[in-house]
Amino acid sequence: MRRAAAFLALFTATSPAFAQDAGPLTVELNAAVEGSDGCTLSFLITNGGEADIGKAVFETVLFDTEGQVERLTLFDFGELPAGRPRVRQFTLSDTTCSGLSRLLVNGVTTCEAPIEGACTEGLRLTSRTDIEIIG
């Protein structure tokens, strides 16, 4: 019994999903897929904080391959429960994925959370695509 309790304590201390304070919000640009409607961007978002985020909306700037602003848009990631990953997709009409080089998280327009800075403090941005994500 003692061994099981020790394992559970070790697992919860080292597992981001179960840690008391696993860290900041992580936004990963996971995929960019061409479609007949435009480019669909898929994001994997993980709220590593202690509290649920009721709603998170990010102002985002898309840059073309020449480095010029292609558009400014809002990505509404919706509800982000603590310790739980979520996938959100956005289709950018009249845009090709190969025509995008960079995505800038320009700011947060909405962050409904009980902890101030839950959407901005230590925000981690990563990309598994050829499109860079910065903030």
Greater confidence (18 vs 57) lies with 57
This prediction's pTM: 0.81
- When the candidates are 2.40.70, 2.60.40, 2.20.25, 3.30.70, the CATH number that belongs to 21-134 is 2.60.40
What's the mean pLDDT when you consider all of the chain?
A: 87
Per-residue pLDDT tens for 110-129? 999 999 999 999 999 999 99
Percent of the chain whose predicted confidence (pLDDT) is above 90: 81
Question: What ranges make up the beta strands (E) of the chain?
Answer: 25-35, 38-47, 53-64, 69-80, 85-93, 100-112, 124-127, 132-134
| CA terminus-to-terminus distance, the chain | 47
Residue spans of the domains in the chain: they are: 21-134
Per-residue pLDDT tens for 6-26? 433 433 343 444 333 446 899
Amino acid 23: pLDDT: 63
Three-state DSSP state, 10: helix
CA 135, CA 123: separation in Å to the nearest integer? 8
